Chains A and B, each alone.
Chain A
Amino acid sequence: MKEEVAAVGRVWKYGNDINTDVIIPARYLFTTDPAELAAHCMEDLDPSFAGRVQPGDVIVAGRNFGCGSSREHAPVAIRAAGVACVIAVSFARIFYRNAINVGLPILECPEAVEALQDGDQVEVDVAAGTIRRVATGETFQAAPFPPFMQEILRCGGL
Chain B
Amino acid sequence: MAAPRPMTITEKILAAHAGVPWVEPGQLVEVRVDFLMANDITAPLAIRAFREMGATRVFDPERVAIVLSHFAPSKDIRSADQCKVAREFAREQGLVHYYEMGEGIEHALLPDRGLVLPGELVLGADSHTCTYGAVGCFSTGVGSTDLAYAMATGETWLKVPETLKFVYYNRLQPWVTGKDLILYTIGRISCDGATYKAMEFTGEALADLSMDGRLAMANMAIEAGGKNGIFNPDQRTLDYVARRAQRPCSPVWSDPDAEYAEVYEFDAAQIEPQVALPWSPDNVRPLSQVERVPIDQVFIGSCTNGRLDDLRTAARILRGRRVHPEVRAIVIPASRDIYLQALKEGLIEIFMAAGCVVSASTCGPCLGGHMGVLGKGERCVSTSNRNFVGRMGHPESESYLANPAVAAASAVAGRLCHPEELGIRYEEVAGVA
Chain A contact residues, CB within 8 Å of chain B: 17, 19, 21-22, 25-27, 29-32, 44-45, 63-64, 67-73, 75-76, 90, 92-94, 97-98, 101-102, 157-158
Contacts and interface: CB of A to CB of B under 8 A. Distances in A.
A67 B192 contact: yes
A94 B142 contact: yes
Given A64-B192, A92-B225, A102-B145, A27 B369 contact: yes
11 contacts: A25-B368, A29-B41, A31-B82, A45-B389, A72-B45, A72-B125, A72-B144, A90-B192, A94-B142, A94-B143, A102-B143
A72 B42 contact: yes
Contact of B44 (A26, A32, A44, A97): A32
Interface string B388-429: 111100010000000000000000000000000000000000
B390 A25 contact: yes
A42 to B, nearest CB: 11
Given A30-B82, A72-B145, 15 more contacts: A17-B280, A21-B388, A21-B389, A26-B41, A26-B369, A27-B369, A30-B81, A67-B192, A68-B386, A71-B143, A90-B195, A93-B227, A94-B127, A97-B146, A157-B145
B119 interface: no
Contacts, number: 111
Contact of B386 (A21, A72, A93): A21
A44 B389 contact: yes
Contacts of B70: 26, 29
A71 B46 CA distance: 11
B93 interface: no
A70 B191 contact: no
Interface residues of B, number: 43
Nearest to A96: B196
Given A21-B388, A45-B389, A92 B195 contact: yes
Contacts of B339: none
Given A19-B388, A27-B368, A93 B145 contact: no
Interface string B184-225: 000000011001100000000000000000000000001001
**Central interface residue in B145, B196, B280, B395, by most chain A CB within 10 Å:** B145
A70 B142 contact: yes
Closest A-B pairs by Cβ, 7 of them: A98-B143, A30-B78, A72-B143, A44-B390, A64-B192, A101-B145, A70-B127
